[in-house]
Amino acid sequence: MEIEAVQTSYARWAPVYDRTFGAITNVGRRRAVRYINGLHGTVLEVGVGTGLSLPHYKSDLQVTGIDFSTDMLAKAQAKVQQLNLQHVAELRQMDARVLDFSDASFDTVAAMHVLSVVPEPENVMAEIARVLKPGGRVVITNHFVRKRGFLAFLERISAPFANVLGWHSDFELETILQESSLAVEEQGPLPPLGMMTFIVLQKAGAVD
């Protein structure tokens, strides 16, 4: 998917996202935030979108959110102001392939339903690993293509329409598991019907 298509697609989806895709992915989002709330320190949410997760982080975390879509970020910023979310340190427009943060900046990185949306997800994962502190965790929820069955067939035939749909229906799990510094700590299906997957990766090295 081209970066311009991401901007165009999510400008179209922004007004209705919370009631459509946002509602469908709510279970995974809540699961990820619940896990992160058991941790501490600084959190980077890659692809914060309209900010649906932001009210649910515990107050002693320091959360930074980024997104490429200015339309989605405007919705997120409105939530921060309306709900007085003081744990949200910053919301920034940014290309996830080139994160404007120093190495080892965050204790935790969240990527919820975004990796099958961004162009060059391998580069995004490399950047996530770079800005994550040693011993830190990457918390991911995402759809991954099935290997067999009727749904697998539908995912494959819809793949050429990624720019229109706004996501890659044929996204492979292996795409996000290529960073040698990140190891799978936890993995499991999410309802409904295991359509989404919850994954925690930990970066090699001691926790500060």
pLDDT tens-digit profile of 165-178? Answer: 444 445 788 999 99
CA distance 192 to 186: 19
Domain span holding position 31: 3-203
Q: For residue 195, is it within any domain?
A: yes
pLDDT of residue 108: 98
CB-based contact 140:194 (threshold 8 Å): no
Instruction: Return the CATH number at 46.
Output: 3.40.50.150
Domain count, the chain: 1
Nearest to 191 by CA among 25, 76, 49, 63: 25
CA distance 48 to 158: 25
**pLDDT(164) > 80:** no
Look up residue 184 and give its DSSP letter.
Answer: E
64 - beta bridge partners? 44, 90
CB-based contact 141:113 (threshold 8 Å): yes
* Segment (H or E) for 135: strand 132-143
pLDDT digits (tens, 9 = 90+) for 182-196: 999 999 988 876 678
**pLDDT(200) > 70:** yes
**pLDDT(93) > 50:** yes
* Segment (H or E) for 132: strand 132-143
Between 162 and 180, residue with greater pLDDT:
180
CB-based contact 101:94 (threshold 8 Å): no
Residue 188: both structure tokens together: 């499991």
Hey, how many other C-beta atoms are within 10 angstroms of the C-beta on 80?
Answer: 19
Q: For residue 55, is it within any domain?
A: yes
Look up residue 8 and give its DSSP letter.
Answer: H
Rounded to a whole number of angstroms, the distance between the first and last alpha carbons of the chain is: 37
Band (159; pLDDT cuts 50, 70, 90): very low
pLDDT digits (tens, 9 = 90+) for 121-141: 999 999 999 999 999 999 999
Residues 6+ apart with CB under 8 A from 135: 202, 203, 204, 205, 206, 207, 208
Q: For residue 78, is it within any domain?
A: yes
pLDDT of residue 27: 85
Look up residue 95 and give its DSSP letter.
Answer: -
Q: For residue 208, is it within any domain?
A: no
Residue 101: both structure tokens together: 């943060």
Q: For residue 118, is it within any domain?
A: yes
CA distance 125 to 8: 23
Band (26; pLDDT cuts 50, 70, 90): confident
